[in-house]
A and B are shown apart, each in its own frame.
Chain A
Amino acid sequence: MAALYEGYTLCGLVPDQNLSSSGIQGIEEERDRDHVVVTDSTRSVTLYKVSDQKPLGSWTVKQGQKLTCPAVFNSQTNEYVAVTDNKVIRIWKEDDILLDKAFKATVSSDVWKVHCTHGGEPVVLFQRGAVRLLDSLLAAPQQPIEEVLAQEETIRSMSLEKFYDDLILELYFSHFLYLQRLNPNSVQRYRLEREEPGLSPLSFSAIYKDKHICLLYLYPNGHMYQSVLSVRGLGTEEGVQALPLPRSLLLGLPVGDGQLEAASAMALDEAHVAVVGVPHPSAGGGKDFLCIWNTNFQTLQAGKEMAGKIYGQLWSYSNKVFIPHGKTLSIIPFECPKSSLASALGKLKHTKTEESKTPNSVPSWNNILHGEKAQPSKTAETRRTVSWRSVFANCEFIIVHTLIQKEVEGFLTRSEFQDLQPSVGQLALTLVSRSLADPAFYSSSTLAQLVHTRCLCHSVCPDLVLLALEKKDYFLCQLCLQFFPDIPEAVTCACLKAFISMPDVDAEKVSLEPNSVTFMENLITRDRAEAGLQNGFSPTSSVVNDRQTRAEDKKKASAPSQLICPVGLHKAVLINEILQTPYSDTFLLPHLKDLSSQNVMLFLQYLQFLYLKYSQDAFPQMEGFRSPSLSQIMDWVCLLLDAHFTVLVMTPEAKGLLLNLHSFVKSQVRLVSELGKIEGSLQQLHKMKAKESIGQYSIEIIELF
């Protein structure tokens, strides 16, 4: 993850009276990475050694003259080039003490800027758009300079890059972009798409990759666009016609109130952008921030508040940002490791070690919420950075979650169903193991989405259910129980335990699968609605025709409190899900024994409730809802009794319950024995029929057609 380190001051500034400009015209890299040439807005050029933060040399023009463009260093000749009063080109060496004695040449048109790539030849750009190489210009200083630009256009920014042997120069205007190639000379004009009326880009920045120019430009409304231009096609399409420049929105930066005024964006590498003069998303409206954004993930990677006013100026050489603010020019080292989702989330191992170097980087929530009182001695400033850093970490997670979800959605729609299974498994496994390693990573909706594909099963990612339980993500638990065919009994039991012992209040907050909730709602409400209608008549008396049971049924009908569901709606829904999972009784039994007797009582009461409901109403599971069957309920009753019989016998409260259950079991046994009888007689019927029709030998007549 990109990081901004502690900065240091290179030099002081002499800003304007009204603080409108920083007083610095430009900063150019000198012979190596450690030297820069700083040109101030009036008269002097200073050479600094960056690591020592001290000036090595300084040159000043005479009073009355004015430097009109930043001095550049020509590394081929070890000379400095600057322009005074728009038309006088001055060239000097480091040994020259007085600028006035140095070489100067006057040209016929106003110079806008001298530009020099590292190791390349200086190029002179005139205000009207013409371009000359310095050498060819000096050979004939008074040569006529043509006008390239239309009348109303003025140059806003330029950049130059050496591309193979061609030099490519870009010129930026309010609404146009010129791409000039020197050697041979050719110009291509592009028209920028219009942003909101009246807005023109605040800053431009370009990087080159794979024979393409990747252009970034920032608008005052915070929109940062990217355009990719091919360099190759440039020479052929010589034309005055302005081509439209396709663009894509890269970032929508938070603007705060009003529009950006002094802001600048600069591409640091393919994925990172340094932005200055834009408010920090979680720190109110102040715009005095330097931030690094990751454009791939659209995440804020690092941020730093700069003291004093920001002028919207920004340079960057060799992993250092040069930024004038207030009355100082600061250098802030930064680092942009190769961007990956892992690093965007802060999950790479080495970032952790870095964080240990800077201990106050990302504290835990607990510290922010509870640690403040414990550490009152901390300065207000550090606390402030701490809090917004964590806030920003949090919003980063939100961003990442939405990103993952988007990716997963895309992935699911893209993939063929056939090869979905292994890849979904892989994906889920990775997500689960990440969530286990880092609790904050847990993303319920994504996992739920994966489970919904029905391509997952428990053995593919064995930790998922337990993870969901741990996170109290009961919705995911429910989905897993529904869709996984192979949940081991131990896990089923763990779920059961969690569901039963969960307070009803908590349970009602959980959002569950609507289908199963509707079923349970129906079951409970019908109870109330039909208690009056039924009027003591039990339609299932044929099944439960035990005299005692019927008497009890009647008693219950008269005392409706008995028929109230012993658990809350959502809890019941979850328990229903347990009832429907496949299991093998030998494996389940030992785990069931771990349940506490209160839980067992509650569960039995609920099962009793379900059983009564089922035997009273005409089979509610016929309505197309997913619901436990009567035999499943009975099986669970038997299992629970098997596991806890001795305990229950000793518990006085369980006595009535046991008696009831006994009668249920009795009626079921009766049912099965009746079924056996029917089967016997049907078999007899079958045999009789067979005997009737065919003996050992018969003579028949058949007809074929």
Chain B
Amino acid sequence: AAGPGRAGAGRDALREELLLSPLPAGDVAATFQFRTRWDADLQRGAVSHYRLFPKALGRLVAALGVRELHLALTQGFWRTRAWGQPPLQAPAGAELWVWFQPTVTDVDKAWKELSNILSGIFCASLNFIDSTNTVTPTASFKPLGLANGTDHRLLRYAVLPREVVCTENLTPWKKLLPCGSKAGLAVLLKAERLFHSSYHSQAVHIRPVCRDASCLAVSWELRQTLTVVFDSFSSGQGKKDWSLFRMFSRTLTDACPLASQSKVYVDISPKNKENELLEVTPPPASVHEAVVQGDKRTYAVYDLLSPSLFNTSRSLNVQLKWKRPQDSSELPTPILHAQRYVSGYGLQTGEISTLVYNTHPYRAFPVILLETVPWYLRLYVHTLTIITKGKENKPSYIHYQPAQDRRRPHLLEMLIQLPANSVTKITIQFERALLKWTEYPPDPNHGFYVGSSVLSALVPSVIAMKAVDVEQSPLFASLFPSSDGSSYFVRLYTEPLLVNLPTPDFSMPYNVICLTCTVVAVCYGSFYNLLTRTFHVEEPSRDGLAKRLANIIRKFRGVPPL
């Protein structure tokens, strides 16, 4: 599908891939990846003729001096503990992080402009990204693509945990695909099924990559990924069997004619060595074995471009059956996982606790923790404690940027060493600030979100890994570059927190107005009467009501009337 190489407009190629992996807890995760690679330098500004690469994003990159762009829109939370290490996790809500070119003079202005344009392209509320939720991490987010320097001042990172992701975000995302949702794997992307799931995350990654092994020229890569987790256990009457049709209510009939590669991978790794538990139909033409995230895995591969696949039937409906019920006791725990919660009572102070687990039996490894906390939670940095196995754990690197009210959030980055087989507890206390009454969002009693904290680590692998060739290996294994064979990169996001702030009674001003007005009106009325009435000396009435009453009582008592 590559066009003839011409000067200026380089070759472009599209690869599409679907990875289906049964999760330990019985759910099924489907990860779509669409990768457009364009052998042209977007930055030079000379390129304005687009073929597979979407014009909207290409112009954005060229106009605003973007070196790398990562946008994820997520609904739900990836439960690392039950589902294992995610191929690509994203925090709940919207996440955007961008590296700008060193030529960009005003990074904040470009960032503001970029978030506004992206908000238009993806119909998301990214325009709410401003200085109060933008940070510049120093260590957590390194460029994933080709980069000469890593001057972190060119990086901007923001999370909007309140963002709700739905169909209106999916449609523009699908529109960026060269085949749309008309052909290829994207026909499965039917909104009503995708959002009827436990976890939905769609992302766009743009980065420059090496054109070839010698890396003398730059190519641009656009990856569109979509991860969705179906709860097949509850929807399948207690059975964990699934098929493409049952999940997406569609089947695959062809590959996108523009794609140079179109494959479906199904994770059929045996859980125990001796017994095969799974059965996939139709039988796969080939099997791919790889070490992914420190684990040996086996994948059944269906190549949609091979003509033999559609020989027997017109469509491909991958089915998976469990031969016998799986015992739930054999849930493997991932080596690195974390959880976070907010504790304390009352509306004045509280405490954020993060628990980071390292379940590796004998290897210790460091992890970078990034916390961004909005300014209205005032962190007490002196209360920061990191405790591992009952002892204090001193972080080897701390970067703390205090918040400024209504200007910027807290940023806390730490490099923490996690000993083998340990739980590390990080706590920090905070005080809740009082907001101005106009600063409360609609429904303030729902609470305020605090974005996920980010854990980035090089996790030591149990099995030696081979360095992967990006062009050859499956896409799900090649977003994060692996540095060496002994460890692999993992980025985890913890739960977002919901914190209650002291919320005033918003009807109070009106109540006060009403009360004051009434008092004033009553006073006014009496004064008015006092000033306008004419007073006469009244003759005592002959038969007043009081006199009559008194007479009745007197009569009753037997006393002569008045």
Verify that A and B bind, or say they do not: no
